[in-house]
Copies of this chain bind each other. A is one copy, B any other.
Amino acid sequence: MNLKQLSEILGLSQTTVSRALNGYPEVSEDTRTRVQAAAHKHGYRPNSRAKGLATGRSMVIGHVIPSSSQHEMVNPIFGDFVAGAVKKYSENGYDLMFTSADDTSIERAYRSLFQRGAVDGVVLQGPKVNEPRIEVLNRMGVPFIVHGRSTGVDVPYDWVDVNNKSSFLRATRFLIDLGHRRIALINGLEDMDFAQRRRDGYLEAFGQAGLSPDTNLMRSAEMTEVYGHHETQKMLCLDDPPTAILCSSMISAIGVRRALSENGLEMGADVSVIAHDDDLSYLKNGQDVPIFTATRSSVRQAGEIAADMLIKRIKAPDDPVKTRLLEAELVVGRSTGPAPNRLLS
């Protein structure tokens, strides 16, 4: 069932039917309702490709996920971010289109998506430091939003980010205040912008306290469970193991916990742990009492905000750049406690 058929059934022109359905004023309420009824009855749905061709807009927003040849990992926060975004998209009549691209062809993927008219805007996730994609998108003139920021990129762009630095500063200070001095940082890959900012916060807390961290306790890699376990295991074997661990992800923190319990250590008593909690729906940090003391910020909500901002940008490409910095809250759970009295330290 297409417009032509529907208009023939109604004995109206395609113009009128189209206008009736799209809410234009130059059609009588009478015929409008008649048209709507017929459309509903015959299950008419305007072909989105034809509509897109005619309007020049696709009502689709693109995401590119790196089908990373390097690291095969699909970021677990991906699902929640997308869930948040897609909710807002559909509220506004947009669909979401994915493409995957390996690390070498991400730029091409974005370019293709936009230039062949498949999308009206794109979302950039997981920016690295000096993220080259941002300039590419800027030059292309595609409306876009970055989830995160990129240190070193000075062209203006829209972004939503959680205040990684302040939240890790605060978490570190919290541990210092509890008497901890040997605080490990199990961080994400430090070419990722968020990881660098978290490290900065961690370092600044030490600086503010007049202390200096042991660089031997700073680790960086992709944030899997096994990684958290592995690094903790190794650090527990040090002559002077950490009394506290600051961990960039809940998943890795679970590995940390596993290592601690394998070594007969009690979390919160022997070793304190703070994790960053993206508030993933399937990995809630406890229900009433949080399992981990954590810096919490919902990545799903970030997805919603990003979607809203991008849609606004698409509608008003020349508006001034907008940014949004979300503050993570520090939720105190049972994984932290005063530093144990240690003979040597």
- Chain B residue nearest in CB terms to A80: B74
Of the candidate stretches A50-58, A156-164, A175-183, the one touching chain B is A50-58
By a CB distance below 8 angstroms, the chain B residues around A79 are: 74-76, 78-79
22 A–B pairs (Cβ distance < 8 Å), ordered by A: A43-B115, A45-B115, A46-B116, A47-B116, A48-B116, A49-B52, A49-B53, A49-B118, A65-B83, A67-B83, A67-B87, A73-B281, A74-B83, A75-B79, A76-B280, A76-B282, A82-B98, A95-B99, A96-B98, A224-B284, A226-B287, A254-B254
By a CB distance below 8 angstroms, the chain B residues around A86 are: 65, 67, 98-100
- Chain B residue nearest in CB terms to A287: B226
How many identical chains are in the complex? 2
Would A98 and B100 be within 8 Å (CB), given that A79-B78, A116-B46 are in contact? Answer: no
Q: How far is the CB of A319 from chain B (nearest CB, A)?
A: 26
Interchain CB contact under 8 A, B96 and A97 = yes
Q: Is A218 an interface residue (CB 8 A)?
A: no
Interchain CB contact under 8 A, B43 and A282 = no
- Known contacts A97-B98, A226-B287, A261-B261; can you find 14 more A-B pairs with CB under 8 A? A47-B53, A48-B116, A48-B118, A67-B90, A74-B79, A74-B280, A76-B280, A78-B79, A79-B79, A95-B98, A95-B99, A96-B99, A226-B284, A258-B291
